[in-house]
């Protein structure tokens, strides 16, 4: 049962950070960031209200919460990136993603608003990443919740995975439910 829950929670596996980067891995990660909104278009296509309110796993968020979470998370990531690029090792502000998933905007704002936001945000984010100088990739921010310094290249790796991870949660739910 525990393995089944792990597979539902992490259908593409847990994030395993790369140990290094090169132009090829950067291009792949940026491509993942650029294409994530298209994955969410696909994930939620033709789902009705009951389906959108179905949790992707027992005890997990519903589809609406997952998509709004990705928008919230990726907005935070984009701001963190810009802080890392413009300040010397800024300390970022962590947030309680579970509490955010319960706020009224998640229930009340139509899902397409967050998907549209993802399209706009990821367009800017990918463009910024594609135009970084070599020295920008090693700039960092400090995450006090994780007690770790995060270089720009590593956050790009992580958020490329993050979008695919949450999209696959919804895709896996659709497959299991025959939607």
Contact 160/77 with Cβ under 8 angstroms?
A: no
Q: In this predicted structure, what is the pLDDT of residue 3? A: 73
Biggest CA pair distance of the chain: 50
Q: Counting every residue, how long is the chain? A: 179
The dihedral over CA atoms of 141, 160, 53, 97, expressed in degrees to the nearest 10, equals -10
Percent pLDDT > 70 in the chain is 99
Strands 140-143 and 148-151: antiparallel
What one-character-per-residue DSSP string does 29-72 give?
HHHHHHHHHHHHHHHHTT--HHHHTSBSSTTS-BHHHHHHHHHH
Residue 127 has pLDDT above 70, yes or no: yes
Helix (H) or strand (E) holding 130: helix 111-130
HSE of 21, CA atoms in CB hemisphere, 13 A: 21
- Give the tens place of pLDDT for each residue, 13-47: 999 999 999 999 999 999 999 999 999 999 999 99
Q: Which two tokens stand for residue 140?
A: 């960092």
Instruction: Catalogue all structural domains in the chain, each as residue range(s) with its CATH number.
Output: 2-9+21-177 (1.20.120.450)
Angle, alpha carbons 155-17-8 (nearest 5°)? 100
Split at pLDDT 50, 70, 90, the class of 1 is: low
Name residues whose C-beta falls within 8 Å of residue 122's C-beta, 6 or more positions apart in sequence. 33, 34, 36, 37, 74
Contact 159/35 with Cβ under 8 angstroms?
A: no
Q: In this predicted structure, what is the pLDDT of residue 2? A: 61
């Amino acid at each position: 049962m525990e393995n089944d829950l792990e597979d539902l929670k992490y259908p593409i596996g847990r994030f395993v950070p790369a140990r290094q980067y090169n132009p090829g891995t950067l291009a792949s990660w940026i491509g993942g960031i650029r294409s994530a909104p298209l994955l969410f278009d696909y994930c939620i296509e033709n789902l009705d209200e009951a389906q959108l309110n179905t949790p992707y796993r027992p005890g997990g968020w519903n589809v609406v919460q997952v998509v709004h979470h990705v928008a919230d998370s990726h907005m935070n990531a984009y701001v963190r990136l810009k802080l890392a690029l413009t300040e010397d090792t800024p300390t970022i502000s962590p947030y309680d993603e579970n509490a955010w998933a319960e706020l009224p905007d998640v229930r009340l704002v139509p899902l397409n608003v967050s998907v549209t936001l993802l399209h706009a945000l990821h367009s800017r984010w990918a463009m910024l990443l594609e135009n970084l100088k070599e020295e920008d990739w090693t700039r960092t921010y400090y995450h006090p919740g994780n007690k770790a310094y995060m270089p720009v290249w590593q956050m790009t790796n992580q958020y490329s995975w993050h979008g695919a991870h949450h999209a696959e949660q919804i895709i896996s739910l659709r497959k299991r439910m025959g939607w």
